[in-house]
Structure 1
Amino acid sequence: MMSGIFPTTPSVPRTAIMAAALLLPAAAAADEPVDLELVLAVDVSLSMDMEEQILQRDGYVRAFLDPLVIQAIESGPHGRIAVAYMEWAGAASQIITLNWTLIDGAASAADLSAALAEAPISRLRRTSVSGAIDFARSMFRDNGFQGLRRVIDISGDGPNNQGGPVVVARDAAVADGITINGLPLLANPAGPLSLFDLPQLDIYYEDCVIGGPGAFLIPVHSPQEFAESIRNKLVLEIAGVPEPPAVVPASAAAPRIPCDIGERQWRMYMDGER
């Protein structure tokens, strides 16, 4: 015979059953299904001046208001994505500017754009692409979302010069099923180059940074191109590709530029070369 919710028997008092029920762990909530989990990993190292930083941030603010980006989001199987915005520089310098946010249309995209516009821009030292990848990789764990794809979108104006080897971080993320796309900001070839500039940064990103199914990069030739490049990149990332090409890890093929070129540049600087 049942009495209320809990059955009672002479040998098991109701109070004992209720107490035991209170000790049982609550069922874990299911992760929110989305088409894409996307970490925007944005370089804020001191090699970029404040004007460039503002143009870069404004590019992301404007992108989430763009009809093409909204259309790409709404056209997916679930019609929604999850986005986090992280700023990075040195090996231990990563700041989550905006934590994971669900975007399912123009209204939520506008909210993210407004929050991003109001957030301060960090200014940090050194350049650790490997540190940025490792940190972004950790952000996918227990984030409350279950995406059909997971992508790290990393922008930067220089090669890795601090932290672990970039190819090790890249290959670990790819092994987790994460795709890494790139937005390298190229140095002006007509202007004076510093020791830390790498004119072939797009080749470095292609051979040493990006990886995983469908990985791609969009080079930025001037800060004025940020807005259009960011918009185009987001549309491609959100839409995905039906049959992604195979990407050969840098560890399996000789890169055209040494993947430790940034570390070499830093050692030259420390040795007094200018």
Structure 2
Amino acid sequence: MSLTRHSTRRMISSWSRGIRTKSWTFEDTSTYSAASHLSRLLESKFPSYSKVDNIKKLRQLPPGFHFLYCNPSNIHTGEDGYDNYQSPVDEEGRHFGRRMWVRGQIEVVKAIEFQKDVSCIEHITNVRNIQGTAFVNISREFSSSDGGRISEQRTLAYTNERYSSSGKPHEAFTADRSHGITLSSIDVMRYSALTYNCHKVHYDRQYAVETEGLPGVLVQGPLMVTLLLYWYARIHPEVEVQRFRYRNVEPWLVDEPAALSIASINGKHVLQISSKTGQKIVGWIN
């Protein structure tokens, strides 16, 4: 059941006060096996670039690979298949009809090595209500047994409005370098399995179109981030990425031809994924 609009502000305020006192801890191990599966998926999208012959030759997690570890168990999922432990609710336990990953930041304080015990402490830092949409800011602090540390911030938006495009192309920057890419339903399914992501918008076309009003099945936000960082590492192997912030602009659909692009703007490397309709995601390497 979805929230009515008039209860939204009261719900967000009440729920926010309680949820910000809570934290969640996830334990995992930074195994080579999960990283090997992801590496094979990513390498298949960059056939003209230098290969990582064996992920076990690497000592540390490549940028974006932390998404593989310390994920929720998906025991209490909503109608959309996504875990509801952080989903805003009102006094009667009613949830929003749709959720979206809208932005985030990754900061590598000290790289996490493979085959280490990893702990992630998660808590909600801020909740805002903007015209009936709840924006929930989440902090995830990864630490490993050898002193590695990755700090991640992500923002999810919760709304009762079905998806609708603005109808105007989202402008993409002029790239210094680009790489064409298309993801299939199999690619997206493999990534969902690796990250234990049960969100229906990534595999159930009928649900995505009929329930949420989306144009089709969506590529995951973390996968877009990882693709950009993986490609960047191929182009600039000499750069150790310490901070990457990004903003999801529009859905990227399965089987939709797109391009990964990079440009140097105001002294920073800016990356994007875009299609003929414009930007899907844009990110900045600091």
Whose strand proportion is higher, 1 or 2? Answer: 2
What is the TM-score normalised by the length of structure 2?
0.25
Whose helix proportion is higher, 1 or 2? Answer: 1
Look at both structures and tell me which one has the larger radius of gyration over its CA atoms. Answer: 1
